[in-house]
Amino acid sequence: MAAEFAVEVFQNEYLTDGAREVDAIVTVAASGIPAGGVAAEDVAQVLVVDCSGSMRYPPTKLAAAKHATTTAIDALRDGVSFAVVEGTESARMIYPTHRGLAVASPRTKIEAKRVVRDLVADGGTAMGRWLALADQVLARHQGPLKHAILLTDGQNQHETPAQLSRTLASIGGRFTCDCRGVGTDWQVGELRKIAEAMLGTVDIVADPLGLAEDFRAMTATAMGKAVGGVSLRLWTPEGASVRFLKQVSPTVLDLTGRRAEAGPRTGDYPTGAWGEESRDYHLCVRVRPAGVGDRMLAGRVSLVAPGGGVLGQGRVLAVWTADEELSTRINREVAHYTGQAELAEVIQDGLEARKAGDVETATAKLGRAVALAASSGNTGTAELLAKVVEVDDPVTGTVRLRPQVADADEMTLDTRSTVTKRVGKGG
């Protein structure tokens, strides 16, 4: 059974006389994915392991990284192509030893795990070089599904931010990369930048003992993907412009700047690889204002396979009316995800203010976050916020900054600030 995609649009299409901004939530759901994913030969995975000197402290950190990497190797299906890269101030192939991929089998898995167990920590950190080598290796894979896992415990000290940005600009969209920071000496913003460019996830593993299960889960998810390189294609009418297009569930990811022109008034936005899952996108389009009684197609959203085939399609409408009851009706989905995007923003702003010693701004931003989390039922984020602020009233967002906050708690809140609470549709 081939994968099937469904596209639904949720919006209030009614606008007041002369209004020009149209919001919609576009839900894309994939189903019919074979339980074991696609053929193993279609999938490739590269494991990038930080072997900088800091991985020696404490000694259990490198041991846990090795165990996690061997666990991920064991989770590969036989027939999947894979490689392991050692990351320091440079990048080095450790399995296979040439710049290519091995095919997973009982023999190659044993060989790869043997060399992983011999890894030592000694050197610096240059993540752009690690990713560039992963890109070179994955470029040799002819299949559609390319995935990498990047693990680090530190900051990108041996290349400049500009160098990392250039690398990400050159390889973005070629493969998906999930990033993990172990311990609390790495920078959330740095790994988030990589994950967003590579359409992957970012998370903290504060306790190295948690790495193995996380690596196994990431590899299992990658093995369950069935279609890679899928894009959202957006057509808008003449005179219209796209204010923004964001993924808003399961995480917030702004795709606006990732547009690739695909024809007259048409652009493609990358979404990466898909398994059995559902995602929501918030689209905001500015159209030419019109008068009462006018209606128009404000946008056509298509899900497009790499070869150009349309997998699903939805329409965004605009209808101008004098009926205030219609035009002021708040669409539940748009309102919910507007709040979730704001939640992520105020958490990050609040934590930045807290670091800068701006107590007033930090209290206001994190208080607003508490209120948004409470009103949307985002209990996961609410629990993380409670480790950073003392909550007097979650409804009004009345909070006090905690004087002492563990680095791991602050970084966990920052890292997971973009994880959203899903809303039921059609209410």
**Does residue 35 carry a pLDDT above 80?**
no
Average pLDDT over every residue of 120-131: 97
* pTM of the predicted protein model: 0.93
Q: 36-45, 46-55, 214-223 — which is least confidently predicted?
A: 36-45
Residue 1: per-residue pLDDT = 54
**What per-residue confidence (pLDDT) applies to 3?**
82
What is residue 427's predicted lDDT score, i.e. its pLDDT? 41
pLDDT of residue 307: 87
Q: What is the mean pLDDT of residues 388-408?
A: 97
Confidence of residue 33 (pLDDT cuts 50, 70, 90): confident
Res. 425: pLDDT tops 60:
no
Query: For the chain, what is the mean pLDDT?
Result: 95
Q: What is the pLDDT of residue 315?
A: 98
Q: What's the pLDDT score for residue 158?
A: 96
Model pLDDT for residues 134-154, shown as the tens digit of each residue: 999 999 999 999 999 999 999
Q: What is the pLDDT of residues 248-301, one digit of tens each?
A: 999 999 999 999 999 999 999 999 999 999 999 999 999 999 999 999 999 999
Write the secondary structure of the chain as one string of H (helix), E (strand) and C (coil). Answer: CCCEEEEEEECCCEECCCCCEEEEEEEEEEECCCCCCCCHHHEEEEEEEECCHHHHCCHHHHHHHHHHHHHHHHHCCCCCEEEEEEECCCEEEEECCCCCCEECCHHHHHHHHHHHHCCCCCCCCCHHHHHHHHHHHHCCCCCCEEEEEEEECCCCCCCCHHHHHHHHHHHCCCCEEEEEEECCCCCHHHHHHHHHHCCCCEEEECCHHHHHHHHHHHHHHHHCCCEEEEEEEEECCCCCEEEEEEEEECECEECHHHCEEEECCEEEEEEEEECCEEEEEEEEEECCCCCCCCEEEEEEEEEECCCCCEEEEEEEEEEECCCHHHHCCCCHHHHHHHHHHHHHHHHHHHHHHHHCCCHHHHHHHHHHHHHHHHHHCCHHHHHHHCCCEEEEECCCCEEEECCCCCHHHHHHHHHHHHECCCCCCCC
